[in-house]
Amino acid sequence: MIYNFFLCIYFFLCLPKYIYEYVFLKKHKKSFLYKLGFKYPVLDIPKDKDVVWIHAVSVGETKAMQSVVKKLKSENKYVLISNVTETGYRESLTSLGSDTVIFMPFDFPWIMKKLLRQVNPKLVIISETDLWYNFLKYAKKLHAKVVLVSAKISLRSKNRFKKVPFFTKKLFGLIDVILTQNKEYFEFFKEIVPVSKLDIGGNLKLTSPPQKPSSEKVKHYEDLFGCINKKVITIACTHETEEELLIKQLKDFIEKDNSLILLAPRHPERFEKVFNLLKTFPYKVSRLSKENEIYKNDKIILIDTMGFLGTCYSLSDIAILGGSFIASVGGHNILEPVFFEVPVLFGPNMYTQKELRSIVLENECGKEVLIKNVNKEVKNLLIDSNLNRYKSSCISLLNTRNDYLEKTYKKIRSFLS
């Protein structure tokens, strides 16, 4: 098939980069053999349970499925989660409570055929829009139903699909229902998919608030970091160049006596590089991984430990989300700090998170800012009256999220009756 031909070409073009990252950057250590099909997961699936396979690319898509997994487990379903990235895999292991977590292998037919026969899912749920033809094809051959939830599609992707109608029809013909995040995505999908398959289900990222750290843990780090009587800003999910841009912009804030920056880069492999960058600034800097080196007069603490963002937000007055001040990423989940009642600032490049951007702006839970205006907007937001207004808006938004979950799960449940 043409798809498999181009898939092989793409694989061999990417392989040198993949091997380089494996050998020199120490990436893909856990996933390498699984993705190549040289290793398969060991599964012990009870014969009397329906298997639900949930596929989520990375951290954001994984977190969005927490509430769905909880409902499935309450009805005694066997839940298998597949992830593409190692950060998504870690998130599934620590927060979802599923029965099994695996790495999604490359979409070669011989790998997918064997893996799907091993799992034999009754239902496949895909979070957002990570579609693989052979995966879906062999799932359908086993009579599984396929549901796309919290679905989104960009204008660019829609136009690409329209250029290959034969493949588009075959791919989307394997999906039973598509529940879009909003009306805009519904209209985009309507141009390439029969409207009978479409409905608006809402964005599930609103339905799965992260687990908050214990009050004891928050108090411990509040004392350790010297947060009392300080204004604290968490800068999270930053990428290359964003740390330097934001630290320079926040010079006035950092130089105040009652200020603290908690900086959490997006990718763990960059921790050391970011720490070396921070040491070039004239501020006292420490690392979370070296707790014994943290002092109460530190101005910036590098969060170089995974799974700590919830504690950061619990300590913070406001948050700044990276991946949005440079053009190459398209933004991250700006709802995370909102779940902790923390207003969020983010940049103008949110093209992969349009729905979250609209939700945050329409409900006045944060602001979109240009990098040159970050300092001014931080000063404005930290005025007590403004900060209290935004925090109240965060609380109001969180009280409206249940409708999305109920509508989505009602559709999911109809395939499990």
Residue 157 has pLDDT above 80, yes or no: yes
Quote the CA–CA distance of 340 and 299 in Å, as a whole number: 23
pLDDT at 62: 92
Label residue 138 by pLDDT band (50, 70, 90): very high
What secondary structure, in 3-state letters, does the chain show? Answer: CHHHHHHHHHHHHHHHHHHHHHHHCCCCCCCHHHHCCCCCCCCCCCCCCCEEEEECCCHHHHHHCHHHHHHHHHCCCEEEEEECCHHHHHHHHHHCCCCEEEECCCCCHHHHHHHHHHHCCCEEEEECCCCCHHHHHHHHHCCCEEEEEEECCCHHHHHHHHHCHHHHHHHHCCCCEEEECCHHHHHHHHCCCCHHHEEECCCHHHCCCCCCCCHHHHHHHHHHHCCCCCEEEEEEEECCCHHHHHHHHCHHHHCCCCEEEEEEECCHHHHHHHHHHHCCCCCCEEECCCHHHCCCCCCEEECCCCCCHHHHHHHCCEEEECCCCCCCCCCCCCHHHHHCCCCEEECCCCCCCHHHHHHHHHCCCEEECCHHHHHHHHHHHCCHHHHHHHHHHHHHHHCCCHHHHHHHHHHHHHCCC
pLDDT computed for residue 33 by the predictor: 81
Where exactly are the structural domains of the chain? 32-209+402-414, 215-398
User: Could you report the per-residue pLDDT of 363-375, keeping only the tens digit for each?
Assistant: 999 999 999 999 9
Can you identify the CATH homologous superfamily of domain 215-398? Glycogen Phosphorylase B; (3.40.50.2000)
Question: Would you say the CATH fold of 215-398 matches that of 32-209+402-414?
Answer: yes
Q: Specify the pTM.
A: 0.74
pLDDT greater than 90 at residue 403: no
Q: How far apart are CA 277 and CA 334, in angstroms?
A: 25
Fold of 32-209+402-414: Rossmann fold (3.40.50)
CA of residue 371 relative to chain centroid, distance: 23
Mean pLDDT value across residues 238-247: 97
Q: How far apart are CA 326 and CA 237, in angstroms?
A: 12
Please state, in angstroms and rounded to a whole number, the distance separating the CA atoms of residues 30 and 36.
Answer: 12
Predicted confidence band of residue 22 (pLDDT cuts 50, 70, 90): confident
Per-residue pLDDT tens over the stretch 48-80: 899 999 999 988 899 889 999 999 999 999 999
